[in-house]
Each structure stands twice: as structure tokens, then as C-alpha cells.
Amino acid sequence: MQKLTLTRPDDWHLHLRDGAALKAVLPHTVRQFARAIVMPNLKPPVRSFADAVAYRDRIMAAIPSGKHFEPLMTLYLTDNTSPEEIIAAKASQFVKAVKYYPAGATTNSEFGVTDIRRCDRVFETMEELEMPLLLHGEVTDRDVDVFDREKVFIKQQLIPLKLRFPKLRVVLEHITTSDAVNFVLANNNIAATITPQHLLFNRNMLFKGGIRPHFYCLPILKREKHRQALLQAATSGNPKFFLGTDSAPHSRDSKESSCGCAGCFSALHAIELYAEAFESVDALDKLEAFASFYGPDFYQLPRNTEQITLIKKTWRIPNELPFIESGIVPLGAGNEITWQMA
């Protein structure tokens, strides 16, 4: 296959940051995607409807002239989030979900939830309003191995949550394990996003020739058997699994430091990376539904009508792109890739 035409996709998990960083990275997403679920973990986080309005306005102002893009906003769940805030967000029509971060789990998560049961009143309201809950599915107990945090989260927190609120619509984001795949398949009202890095790489990539900080993300890359399980899920044609890049921009110096930030920057070439992954198992015919159909269906939004085209063309991922402070390194920098968006 030398050419691939797809309905314009959406990104159902995206970090855009704010200010100069937002202006630097947004054009890459706009080039490929029509819409994106925008993460709320700013400093300070997007905790209220008013915060979401202001952040959306800043995103809209940063869209390149002549381009169309719709940011789909989220609220950052805290121990103190009220049901009334959820009701206001739902009524707005542009806040589409609420994001759960365990306190201390990842970038800018220090305001996150300390005990998920504290939010049951909020979950009850969300269940009634059919407002999706987006989960960073990891525990933060220091006694739990970093490679087991997702599996333990499912057992300790997600299973009880679904028993308490069986109709709550949940997206288990950036899944990384066969355990997560199996849970999503076995339960109602739950879907999952899958990132390009977790489809393309296993944990060996973190240590190939030394420490590779630009492959460090949370949840961390896992064993090859888990990568294979994710690839099978993504290419299965099951509507429970859809595209979410979790593209997370950090400057080079913040990644290449004594305590490097977690996150892979894939906004530059996300759809091309997914094409590489799907082609690796001869499943390019399943890419359009995964990238363009299943996400809007879950969020009860219309599918896009515009199309994009990928062509078979080998090119090299840049070593660095302009960014604040010290540039930004895209996922797989310096490597060749064989699909390119026209």
C-alpha cells in the first residue's frame, strides 16, 4: 500500500501546556487532528468550569490562522471537587470529561486525589449526567513496583469503583498491560486509549545503549508481552480501544536532567507513528476506525467528515524542534519512519 486515506482523526488524550509552550506545540496537533481531549494538569490545574473557559480561550487564540481545531476540555478532579461543579461543566457543552490523577502520580499531579472514595458524591453525579471519568490508572504506593502500578490500581481501586458505580462511563487512559486490556474487555461502560509509544516500544527501549530519557513516560513502558497485547487490542476492531497520544511536551533540559520529567512528545508525527504500528501487524485497514470513529462514538460526538492522506515515504524524525528554553525532542528522534502525512 502506497497511499492511505483516513477520516480526519481526533486525539483523545493530549497535553498542550500553556503560554509559550502551548503556542509551540499546538500547530503539530492541528495539522493532523480535528479535536482533542485536553488534559487539565496545568500549574495551577484546571479545577473549575471558569478555569476551563479561560484555558479554552487561550487555546483558541493559539490556533494557527486559517486552521480549524476544537479543544475538548476536562476538569482536574480533587478531593474538594463538588457535584455542583460537575453540573456546571456538563451544562457548558464543551467540558467533556473529568480527569482523575492519584496525588503524585505524574507531571503536575500534586493536587490530585488522595483517596478515590472521597469523590463518590462526584462520581454519583457524573454517573447520572453520563459525564466520562478519565483515569490515570496507577497507584502511588512506594511499596508497589513501578511496573506493577497499573495492575495493582485495577485490583485495588478500579474494580471497587465499578462495583459502586456500574453505569459510570470510564476511560482507562494510556493503558500499558494485558491486565488493563482484559479488564476493559470484561466490563461495561469502560473504554481505553492507547499511545503510540506503548504500541511501538517495550521497556528495553529505556535502556538501549544507556538511559534513554525521551522514552520515559508514565505509565512506564512495559514488557514485550504487554506491548503485544496492546497491539492486538488496538488492531482488533473493538470499539472499546481508541487513539490517545498522551503527547507530553517537555524541554530537552527538563528531560535530560538528574531527575527527568515523564512524558513522550509525539504530536509532531502521531498519526504516522500509529500507521507504523498498525502496518507492523498488517492491520492498516483497522487504523481509521481506531483513530477516527471509536473515540467520537464513545464521547457521543459526531464523526469528522474531512479526510487526511498518508503516503508511503521514508523520512527521518528530527533530532529536535524549536521549543521554550532548550528545544524539544520528538519520540523516536533521529530514526526513520515510512509513512508521512501529505
Model confidence pLDDT, tens digit, residues 8-45 = 999 999 999 999 999 999 999 999 999 999 999 999 99
C-alpha atoms less than 13 angstroms from C-alpha of 19 in its C-beta half-sphere:
6
Cα→Cα distances 213→74, 106, 194, 246, 298, Å: 28, 15, 20, 16, 33
Q: Which CATH number does the domain housing residue 225 bear?
A: 3.20.20.140
Q: Catalytic residue numbers?
A: 246
CA 30 – CA 25 distance, rounded (Å) = 9
The three cell numbers of residue 233 are: 487490542
Domain total of the chain: 1
Q: What is the pLDDT of residue 103?
A: 83
Q: What is the pLDDT of residue 109?
A: 67
8 A C-beta contact, residue 175 and residue 137: yes
Computed over every residue of the chain, the mean pLDDT equals 96
The three cell numbers of residue 247 are: 503527547
* CA proximity to 198, closest of 156, 250, 245: 245
Q: What is the pLDDT of residue 325?
A: 80
* Residues with pLDDT less than 50, the chain: none
Neighbour order of strands in the sheet with 3-7: 3-7, 307-316, 336-341
CA 33 – CA 279 distance, rounded (Å) = 20
Radius of gyration (Cα) for the chain, nearest Å?
Answer: 19
- Please give the sequence-ordered ranges of beta strands (E in DSSP) within the chain, or none if there are none: 3-7, 11-14, 35-38, 70-76, 95-100, 133-135, 170-172, 190-194, 241-243, 307-316, 336-341
* Dihedral (Cα; 230, 5, 282, 15), 10-degree rounding: -20
Q: Any bridge partners for residue 337, and if so which?
A: 315
Residues 86-142: tens digit of each pLDDT: 999 999 899 999 999 988 767 666 788 999 999 999 999 999 999 999 999 999 999
pTM, 2 dp = 0.97
Environment class of 18 (CB within 10 Å of its CB; exposed 0-12, middle 13-18, buried 19+): middle
The three cell numbers of residue 51 are: 478555569
CA 193 – CA 225 distance, rounded (Å) = 18
Range of the domain at 43: 3-341
**DSSP secondary structure code for residue 113 in this structure:** B
